[in-house]
Amino acid sequence: MTPRERVLRTLARGTADRVPVNYDANPGIDARLKQHFGLQPGDHEGLLRALGVDFRRIGASYVGPRLHADIPERGVSVSDWGIHTRWIEHETGGYWDFCDFPLSEATVDQVAAWPMPSPDDYDCQSVAPLCQAHEDYAICLMCYGDLINGNGMLRGMEQTLVDLLTDEPAGLLLADRRFAIQTEVARRTFAAANGRIDVLWLGEDLGTQDRPMISMDIFRRHFRPRYQPLVDLGRQHGARVMIHTCGSSSWAYEEFIDMGIDAVDTLQPEARDMSPAHLKRTFGGRLAFHGCISTAGPVAFGTVADVTAACRATLDTMMPGGGYCFAPTHQLQDNSPTQNVVAMYEAAHRYGRY
């Protein structure tokens, strides 16, 4: 089977020749993997091929004017959405951490006036050549939505959760502006791709490690109405719809099924009600699964033998009946030994065949 055929069969909750494989990683481990395979630092496609990855991500690039200035005297980088980040180093690498939260005390008028990218300033026509270049692969359009994190990057996490609980107009307006822009860019991207996008990939963080972050009432009041148009858009264009959800999030999966979502991503096995056995037993045949290989378990802290055993156990649980894509729960972290990540993908190809 081609990678595209393999993914589409699996996301339809069927059985392919082997489980589809996906990859995502932080810069440090990504660079080490490229070095391991003798690749140039910028050869991302070469790495995906070396790991046997079946998915390819595309998206329209923002080509509009610079909307917000960096703050170099404080080492703060500011995105075109106005999100502030600063580089934080740690013993195995580093990451861009969110800071300042410029809309934390903003009024409705201030949120309405906040500069954001226009859909007119995205180069949607650039996606057709990308799709053609990867015609044998499953093409994914990333359009997260991401109400909690996206708003939280501008208003702070505490204020964002208060906004949802109290129906705060400023916070809800921020979400509506962000979703409207993303939805329109996705609509134009689908049109430009002319039916070649296979997966619309949404994203939201709904759980801590042991409980939901929000109530079902808040999910139905604020989340479902904003995500349903995106789900409908993907299905109108013949794409499968997958949603990334961190933490203990299976409490929302019946809602996902009712909304028309095809697959769930991340699937942290350490979180409550997120073990592979529970997910397969409860939702197998109704949802496809993407993830389950923990970035906080043996891949980061075990031996090669530990990694192989954990991956094989997950495959043994998730493969029967089809509907499972092998992938890390999040980006592979810089504290993951190179040999462990290589062993992870070797296990997928060795034990992931039907």
Domain that holds residue 193: 3-65+104-351
CATH assignment of the domain containing 213: 3.20.20.210
Alpha helices in 146-168 (DSSP H): 147-155, 157-166
User: Residue 281: what pLDDT?
Assistant: 98
Q: Is 98 part of any domain?
A: no
Q: Is 156 part of any domain?
A: yes
Q: Give the pLDDT band of residue 212 (cuts 50, 70, 90).
A: very high
Q: Into how many domains does the chain fold?
A: 1
Mean pLDDT score of the chain: 97
Q: What is the pLDDT of residues 29-56, one digit of tens each?
A: 999 999 999 999 999 999 999 999 999 9
Q: What's the average model confidence in pLDDT over 178-197? A: 97
Q: Is 320 part of any domain?
A: yes
Query: Phi/psi at 275 (nearest 5 deg)?
Result: -65, 150
Query: Residue 273 gets which letter from DSSP?
Result: T
Q: Which residues contact 111 (CB under 8 A, 6 or more apart)?
A: 103, 170, 173, 174, 177
Query: Residue 17 gets which letter from DSSP?
Result: S
Show contacts of 279-286: CB within 8 Å, 24+ apart: 279/250, 279/318, 280/317, 280/318, 280/320, 282/250, 282/253, 283/250, 283/253, 283/257, 284/321, 284/323, 285/13, 285/321, 285/323, 286/13, 286/257
Q: What is the pLDDT of residues 291-305, one digit of tens each?
A: 999 999 999 999 999
The answer, yes or no, to whether residue 120 has pLDDT greater than 90, is yes
Q: Is 83 part of any domain?
A: no
User: Residue 56: what pLDDT?
Assistant: 98
Q: Give the pLDDT band of residue 16 (cuts 50, 70, 90).
A: very high
Q: What is the pLDDT of residues 227-256, one digit of tens each?
A: 999 999 999 999 999 999 999 999 999 999
The answer, yes or no, to whether residue 271 has pLDDT greater than 90, is yes
Q: What is the pLDDT of residues 64-74, one digit of tens each?
A: 999 999 999 99
Q: What is the pTM of this model?
A: 0.96
User: Residue 92: what pLDDT?
Assistant: 87
Q: Is 146 part of any domain?
A: yes
User: Residue 38: what pLDDT?
Assistant: 98
Query: Phi/psi at 258 (nearest 5 deg)?
Result: -65, -30
Q: Is 74 part of any domain?
A: no
Q: Is 292 part of any domain?
A: yes
* Nearest to 342, CA basis, from 92, 33, 42, 40: 33
Residue keyed to tokens 């039907």: 354
Q: Is 73 part of any domain?
A: no
